[in-house]
Chains A and B, each alone.
With several copies, the nearest count.
Chain A
Amino acid sequence: MNKVLLFAHLKEQAGKGKLEVNASGKTIGELRRILERDHELGNLEGIMIALNEEFAKDDALIQTGDEIALIPPVSGG
C-alpha cells in the first residue's frame, strides 16, 4: 500500500488528509488516472505529484511504501 497525502483544497474536498492506495508497480501517470476515476478529487490537471518528497514525472515508477503527495499550485511566500 501507499500513502497519498492531500493538501489545501484537495484535503478539504476529500474530507481527509490522506488516502491509502495500492499503487505499487504503477507509474505516476497511471496513479493520476486512478485517483481521478475512483476518488472524489475532481480533475487533477495542474496538480503535480510528489514521490518521496520530490516532484515526479508521469513515467516515474511507484514502489511499495513510497510516499505520494498531490501538490496543487503552491501559494506560499
Chain B
Amino acid sequence: MTCEITREPIRVDELYQKVVRREAGAVTLFVGTVRELTHGKRTLFLEYEAYEAMALKKLEQIAAEMGERWPGVQTAITHRIGRLDISDIAVAIAVSSPHRPEAYEANRYAIERIKEIVPIWKKEHWEDGEEWVGNQQGTKEYLDGKPGEEELDE
C-alpha cells in the first residue's frame, strides 16, 4: 500500500523499501518526529487523532498529485496516530525518482500538503495543560492548486 494510517511505530526502512526500484537513482525520506521543545515549552507527549478514511484518501490524493507534477516519482506516506512520545515518528514520507531534484522537491511538497489537507489533529500535552493544535491559517482545500510558500516554517 502506498499510503497508510497506523497506530504502530513507523519504521524508516520499511518506507524506504516501498519506493526503491531499479529505475530510481535517488530516494528522499522525510521523518517528522515528536520534538521536546516548541516555543520553549516542554512537550510531555502528543496525541494524534484522524478522520481515518478521509485522511487515507487525502494521502493518496497527495501521492497522485505528486505523480502528475513530477512524472516518474514514486511515493509512500505513513502517518501514525494515537499517543506518541518524544522522538517517536509521527509521519514518514519516501519518494524515489530517477534524478535527485524531483526527489527533494516532491518530498517537500508532500509534507506541506499534508499540513494543509489531511484531516489529522494533534493534541499537545505539557506539564501544566493540554491543547488541540490547529494550523495557523486554517485548513486549505486547494482543489487544484499548490501550497503557498507562507507555511514553510513549522
Direct contact, A vs B (beta carbon within 8 Å): yes
A interface residues (Cβ-Cβ under 8 A, vs B): 5, 7-9, 11-12, 46, 48, 50, 53-55, 69, 71-77
With both beta carbons as reference points, the residue of chain A lying nearest to B116 in the complex is identified as A74
| Stretch of B6-14, B16-24, B129-137 contacting A (4+ beta carbons < 8 Å) | B129-137
Which of B90, B91, B121, B122 has the largest count of A CB atoms less than 10 A from its CB? B121
A46 engages B121 (CB within 8 Å): no
The proximity string for B residues 116-154 relative to A, scoring 1 for CB distances below 8 Å and 0 otherwise, is 111111110000000011110111010100000000001
A53 engages B115 (CB within 8 Å): no
Secondary structure of the A contact surface, majority rule: mixed
Secondary structure of the B contact surface, majority rule: mixed
State the Cβ distance, B104 to closest chain A Cβ, in Å: 14
CA separation between A53 and B50, bound complex, in Å?
A: 12
The proximity string for B residues 14-53 relative to A, scoring 1 for CB distances below 8 Å and 0 otherwise, is 0000000000000000001000000000000000111101
CA separation between A76 and B51, bound complex, in Å?
A: 11
With both beta carbons as reference points, the residue of chain A lying nearest to B81 in the complex is identified as A76
Known contacts: A8-B49, A46-B138. The answer to whether A74 contacts B132 by CB under 8 A is: no
CA separation between A8 and B119, bound complex, in Å?
A: 10
- Tell me how many residues of B have a C-beta within 8 Å of chain A: 33
In the complex, the number of residue pairs spanning A and B with C-beta atoms less than 8 Å apart equals 86
State the Cβ distance, A75 to closest chain B Cβ, in Å: 4
B138 engages A77 (CB within 8 Å): no
CA separation between A54 and B90, bound complex, in Å?
A: 23
B139 engages A71 (CB within 8 Å): yes
- Residue B111 at the A interface, CB < 8 A? yes
Which of A9, A11, A53, A74 has the largest count of B CB atoms less than 10 A from its CB? A74
With both beta carbons as reference points, the residue of chain A lying nearest to B32 in the complex is identified as A77
A75 contact set on B, CB distance < 8 A: 115, 120-122, 132-135
CA separation between A69 and B118, bound complex, in Å?
A: 13
